[in-house]
Structure 1
Amino acid sequence: MSSSSHYAEIQACLNLKYKHASQAHLYIQPMNTVDRIQELLTHHGIPKRGMRRALERTCGISYQAVSQWFSGETTNIKNEHLAAIAKEYGSSLDWLISGVGPMITGKESSSLFQVAEGHTQFDVEPTSEWMTVRVPVMDQAFSAGQGAAAERIEDFVDGYEAIDQETLDRLQILPGCARVIKIRGDSMWPTFFDGDKVIADTNSVKLINQGVFAFEFDGDLKVKRFFKRIDGSWLVSSDNKDDPSYPDEVIAPHNAMQLRIIAQIKELRSRAI
């Protein structure tokens, strides 16, 4: 056998061993549950930096507890938490635990009140080192009064305002879901005045008792406070109880399809003097 052919044979053996070693290496490092959770949230457009906050809110546990999943301190994630994640992001418990089946099952959250198909999510622009975020200001004012004609509020942006990351973290708002909304009318006085700007979260579209939400209903855009009633319906109320022109309204479960939650109002941003 010539030296060149002998060298080629040795090289072929080395390549084969390398190939088998690589395959073995890949085989012994399958995705674990945390890997699948990250893949699922990435699929839904949630940046890695915001995943722990999102999971904290979905599972109703502390940020520190979620961080222990990612660090490996907690290796057994409770099934109730995995079930909440699967429900929130349209996956299945089987896939999260073992990777069996499709990642997306097509089943959305069972909440009656969902963001309508086609709801626009704007990207935000982080400034240096993510200390502040340039948040879109929605151009069309929401009415804290009798309502304003709705025309895809998400599509109208009137510039940006810089909000520090610490504020968004405190309010538990993902940067890509933060919005500044202008208030019009006085039905939410004394909480919000006409001309106020508020910080809102477009990721918080599930109604909570006594929460204040920007929403579209039957062609009108409004900001109101929601109270859950014992029969499953929602009382939509104005904070201004001195003006009889702002009566309470009731949203029955069968009218849910007409109600489109735009965002939850989290905090006053600025007040016009």
Structure 2
Amino acid sequence: MSNKVFGDDFDKSQSSNSSNISNVSLENRRGIMTYDFNGLFVLVKAPIEQVGQAVCQMKQVTNWERDVYEREIEIVDRPSFLMFQLRKHSWTIISPFILLQNNIISLSEETAKSMSLWLHTTSIYFITSDVGCYIGYHLYNSGQSIERLYAEQGDYDLVIKFPNNRDEDEYRSENGVCQFRSHLRQLKAYQIQDPYAFTNKFLQEQDVLVIDFYLLNRFKGEKKYTVTSWLKRDDLERMDYIALSQACTDLT
């Protein structure tokens, strides 16, 4: 078997088990639902209320609207994000919320590290792009780095976002690049034949479901927004909206 990150005939659709679980409810799904989206999330293994309280202690929170899904809310022109917990899931997902110019907030590996340290729990920084052809995650436990993977197909222009260091094992080929470091398993980057399938299995091991979450833009007047997506209300334990002071440009 040749050592390759992405084969010439690589097909992401064959890496997902979504076709086998299409009739399974969100309550029972784990892994990643689809690879055909652009996403950046921080996932924290804690109830949504605990995560919100931690944010209030870490940062200056100006607005915290609880249970906003399918409700009209007033958006403030300050750094903001949504967080939600799927029903019968133990993880809270933090997602950027960008509708106004000053809504932008930076979520990074440091965000996941800080949340993990603050709550003495497990957290994951997760990114993927079907346009950029990359996927990556970084697992923390109580602020300590446990496992990290980044893989990009093609010219790997974005590898600077996940810079290599002396502790990182890296494998490059004409098809792409893969970086990997772990305290969970003895494995080298070149041994990861399919980074998408590997990431899906990792998420299942962590009892996590990553969904292709996006908002439907339904404005009703200036700075009024009805929070909706393809999710059903019964899919959620809760979804909250949090805004920080203007000085907070990141969540770390």
Normalised by the length of structure 1, the TM-score is: 0.25
The structure whose Rg is larger is 1
Identify, as 1 or 2, the structure richer in strand. 2
Relative contact order, higher structure (CA 8 A, sep 6+): 2
Normalised by the length of structure 2, the TM-score is: 0.26
